[in-house]
């Protein structure tokens, strides 16, 4: 089973983050990392993180022995929701378990915030990989008014604090 190490994005690793790419057919499913990092710079409640294989653990960021495999970002919303806003795994590293392992680690971190009462995420309705991944982690539909307006996006939450891992 894959294990990941999540690291802050700094001047040591931001260029590598900008080079990560999803498959051509997946480009409509997630904003570019450039856009997400720009968004995070202007908003202190967004937390962008680089995803590495666990082999990076214990090394300084500028000398990690393994490549960055993906990017994720969560948002602490004012209404006490920890929202997982971005998740992408580079096309060369997909289907190796990194996406699932990164979600598990982000959820673990979100649970550590006393102010977070709910963990939620969303995906484009046609994104089968995201649907399979989030459902397998125990996410269920989140019926909220503003989510009903945007029919192309599916909103999910973790029921209570239970999840299937």
Within positions 31 to 60, which residues make up the interface with ligand COA, using CB under 6 A?
none
| Distance of alpha carbon 24 from alpha carbon 86, whole angstroms | 17
CB of 60 to ligand COA, least distance (A): 25
Check the CA dihedral 25-30-92-102 and report its sign: negative
**8 A C-beta contact, residue 137 and residue 110:** no
| Single residue of 6, 9, 17, 30 touching ligand COA by CB under 6 A | 30
Residue 157 is a binding residue for ligand COA (CB under 6 A): no
Site string for ligand COA, 91-130 (x = CB under 6 A): ---xxxxxxx----------------------x---xxxx
Token representation of residue 126: 């046609």
**Close Cβ partners of 26 (under 8 Å, ≥ 6 residues apart):** 91, 127, 129
Binding site for ligand COA (CB under 6 A): 22, 26, 29-30, 87-89, 94-100, 123, 127-130, 132-133, 136
């Amino acid at each position: 089973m894959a294990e990941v190490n999540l690291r802050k994005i700094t001047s040591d690793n931001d260029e590598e983050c900008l080079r990560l790419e999803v498959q051509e057919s997946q480009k409509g499913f997630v904003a570019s990392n450039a856009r997400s990092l720009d968004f995070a710079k202007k908003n202190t409640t967004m937390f962008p993180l680089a995803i590495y294989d666990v082999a990076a653990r214990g090394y300084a960021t500028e000398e990690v022995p393994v490549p960055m495999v993906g990017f994720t970002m969560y948002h602490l919303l004012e209404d006490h929701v920890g929202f997982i806003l971005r998740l992408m795994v580079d096309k060369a590293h997909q289907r190796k378990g990194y996406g699932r392992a990164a979600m598990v680690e982000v959820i673990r971190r979100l649970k550590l915030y006393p102010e977070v009462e709910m963990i939620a995420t969303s995906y484009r309705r046609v994104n089968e990989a995201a649907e399979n991944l989030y459902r397998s982690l125990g996410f269920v539909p989140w019926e909220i008014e503003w989510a009903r307006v945007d029919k192309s996006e599916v909103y999910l939450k973790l029921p209570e604090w239970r999840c299937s891992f």
